[in-house]
Chain A
Amino acid sequence: MSLLAPERPITNPFLPYLATVKGVTQLTPDIKLFNLELDDPEVREGFDYRPGQFAFVSAFGVGEAPFGLVSLPHWKAGVEFALRRVGTVTRALHDLEPGAKVGVRGPYGNYFPLEDYRGKNILIIGGGIGMAPLRPVIRTILERRPDYGDLTIINGARSPQDLVFADEFDSWATAPRTRLELTVDRGDDNWSGQVALIPSVVQELKPSPANAVAILCGPPIMIKFTLARLKELCFADAQIVTTLEAKMKCGMGRCMRCNIGDKFVCADGPVFTFEQISHLLEPF
């Protein structure tokens, strides 16, 4: 998989683009969707990226951190990030309102090779905020529906109110040859759907590995058990793809925080097949 090497009009690679917060949508009690507009029209036009790539978002005076891009560039509707309020940078960003200035540095990393998946059945499994980087994958497939085989989406969260992108569920579920399975760890009075952990849903559903690719993103414990279920169903490591997260300070393979053995999440990833990951030296 080749790296996208964006021609950056600025010379200092640490200098972010200035951007304005255009919209803030509360997706769950602790996750907000930020829609950002890059201030420089030329930069805005040239800011190209693919599903799976990430960028650093700056809360000036607090710091910057890397986040998956959850929009698609051809929408021409701003750059979007779904941020869970969990650390110092995300806390500061959650306090921002439309009109506020932030920084965007990127895009970085590789991407899901969706071109290579044409004609295949796609299984997408997202847990909690792990669903965020999979949204542009789902939307790409839905936009080019005839290019792909069956699409199965398994989206799980701790509770019904923790499911992200709920307002898009109808459009996903009603698309041709598309199945959406929602599941939660704990239901509530209004929840009539499944109450089960993601690995159990996979076990129930028994997706076929024939001509299929499984794309996973979620907490490490979910990945571990889901991976075991998929392997029981005879998915090969090369058919299972995920995107990894790590502490990062540069995005250029230099700060030595995100390396897992000799592989850098920022520069070699963040998208890896399990065939690649099984060769990684350290736990991830």
Chain B
Amino acid sequence: MQLIRRNRNTTPDLGGLERLQRELSDFFDWTTSAYPTPFRTFGLLEGAWSPALDLYEDKDSLRVVVELPGLKKDEFEATVHGDTLVIQGERKSESEQKKENFYRVERIYGQFHRAVTLPTPVDASKVKASYKDGVLEVILPKKEETKPKQIPVTIQSE
């Protein structure tokens, strides 16, 4: 089962020790500060941008929702491979494009790849996707034969 697959993409500018120090320091700031910052492991353990993903199911379809803030249309794609939905792309680092002074870089850049094993077969030709307010929503209609059907039961009396 490959519900969560993460790729490797470390933050480029910090070595492991410096990163550990920063994370510890961030953690104490985080627990005591009136100005909390997001607490997350900056690539120390996983080293990846792994966008948050929800999967919902109703009787007709599956629905996958992925947070992908600030992407352009050509920076990501969603594909169905059999029973797997793959969402992948890349957010280009702005620091490479603009020579400006950064005080904080908490947004994560680079490649991402999520693969979701779909719990029921879907009709790949009818999949619809939309992107709004930084959220990708993919609707995958179930295949006809997997939808619940009411089976009339006749009781035969002997």
**Chains A and B are bound partners:** no
> Residues of A at under 8 Å CB distance from B?
none
> Residues of B at under 8 Å CB distance from A?
none
